[in-house]
């Protein structure tokens, strides 16, 4: 059998060496398997950090997308709130009224369903009407703001004023009366002093038709007779000549004669200005009692 040329043998051996036998002497299939396993291990080692990085990046991106969506939604919600239609005033009032009523229908329904409450309110208004009727027609409380009637009335004393008995009882000397001052009183004050609406309290010393005179030493004479006045604080330090009280008027003086702006300064008091007669001191407790020297 003829031998093959050398170049042919070489050509045949080289491919076998590349495919069939490795330089290390291992099987070619096994070497390829080992290399593939090595590549897979390397790929796994690099794949894990890549996956982590990809996950972080993905999470960050997801969060960014979430906050962007949330911001857009919040902006939309805010815009919706701003654009809510305004309730009409009547609707708002009705809403407030319904909230005030509560679950039981409100105070009116309570009043209608509660006989005891109805009775209490009825009693209250009846008492109030009765008190106001007495206050404006029969008797009213007053307090003393000055020392013009000292020592029988001190500052802060409170008393009752009988407003009804003047309709059947004539005023008498020594009655203590509360009255609205006449125009001459305001004229005596001078300019710049405003005491409008102020009621005064003094004692009647002379009635219409009486002749009255204050003599030296503070002695008061009525119709020529010297008057005994134990209720005064001191003798008057002024005098005035004899004069006659005109019709429809009286002369009033303060018990504290030298500290009182009274009839000896501004003249006669019209009877129609008298509000009523002081009858009883009720405050403070240590001053409780009737009016000294006042006729019954």
pTM: 0.58
Cβ 111 vs Cβ 117: under 8 Å: yes
> pLDDT of 33-92, one tens digit each?
565 566 565 555 544 444 444 444 444 444 445 444 544 444 444 433 333 344 454 455
pLDDT of residue 132: 75
pLDDT of residue 159: 94
Instruction: Enumerate the domain spans of the chain.
Output: 138-290
Compare 136 and 142 and report the one with higher pLDDT. Answer: 142
Please list the active-site residues.
148
pLDDT of residue 83: 38
Please check the confidence at residue 251 and state whether its pLDDT lies above 50: yes
The CATH superfamily label for domain 138-290 reads Umud Fragment, subunit A (2.10.109.10)
Grouping H, G, I as helix, E, B as strand and the rest as coil, residue 208 is coil
What does each C-alpha distance from 34 to 44, 273, 279 come to in angstroms?
A: 15, 134, 132
pLDDT of residue 19: 36
All residues at 6 or more sequence positions from 234 whose CB lies less than 8 Å from its CB, including other chains: 218, 256, 257, 258
First-to-last alpha carbon distance for the chain, in angstroms, is: 181
Grouping H, G, I as helix, E, B as strand and the rest as coil, residue 214 is strand
> pLDDT of 3-34, one tens digit each?
444 433 333 333 333 333 344 444 555 655 56
Integer Cα distance of 251 and 260 in angstroms = 13
> pLDDT of 177-199, one tens digit each?
999 999 999 888 887 677 777 89
Please check the confidence at residue 262 and state whether its pLDDT lies above 90: yes
């Amino acid at each position: 059998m003829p031998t093959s040329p050398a170049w042919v043998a070489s050509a045949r051996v080289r491919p076998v060496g590349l495919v069939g036998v490795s330089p290390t002497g291992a099987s070619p299939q096994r070497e390829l398997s080992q290399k593939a396993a090595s590549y897979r291990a390397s790929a796994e080692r690099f794949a894990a950090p890549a996956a982590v990085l990809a996950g972080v990046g993905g999470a960050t991106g997801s969060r960014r997308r979430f906050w962007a969506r949330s911001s857009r939604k919040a902006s939309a919600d805010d815009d919706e709130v701003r654009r809510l239609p305004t309730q009409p005033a009547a609707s708002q009032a009705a809403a407030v009224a319904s909230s005030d009523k509560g679950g039981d229908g409100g105070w009116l329904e309570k009043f209608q369903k509660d006989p005891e409450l109805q009775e209490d309110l009825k009693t209250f208004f009846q008492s109030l009407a009765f008190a106001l009727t007495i206050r404006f027609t029969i008797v009213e409380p007053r307090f003393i703001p000055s020392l013009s009637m000292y020592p029988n009335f001190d500052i802060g004393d409170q008393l009752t004023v009988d407003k009804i008995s003047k309709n059947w009882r004539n005023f008498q000397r020594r009655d203590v009366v509360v009255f609205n001052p006449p125009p001459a009183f305001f004229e005596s004050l001078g300019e710049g002093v405003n005491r409008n609406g102020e009621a005064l309290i003094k004692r009647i010393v002379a009635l219409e038709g009486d002749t009255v005179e204050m003599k030296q030493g503070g002695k008061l004479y009525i119709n020529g007779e010297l008057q005994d006045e134990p209720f005064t604080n001191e003798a008057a330090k002024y005098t005035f000549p004899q004069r006659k009280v005109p019709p429809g008027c009286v002369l009033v003086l303060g018990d504290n004669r030298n500290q009182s702006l009274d009839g000896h300064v501004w003249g006669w008091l019209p009877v129609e200005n008298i509000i009523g007669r002081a009858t009883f001191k009720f405050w403070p407790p240590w001053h409780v009692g009737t009016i000294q020297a006042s006729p019954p």
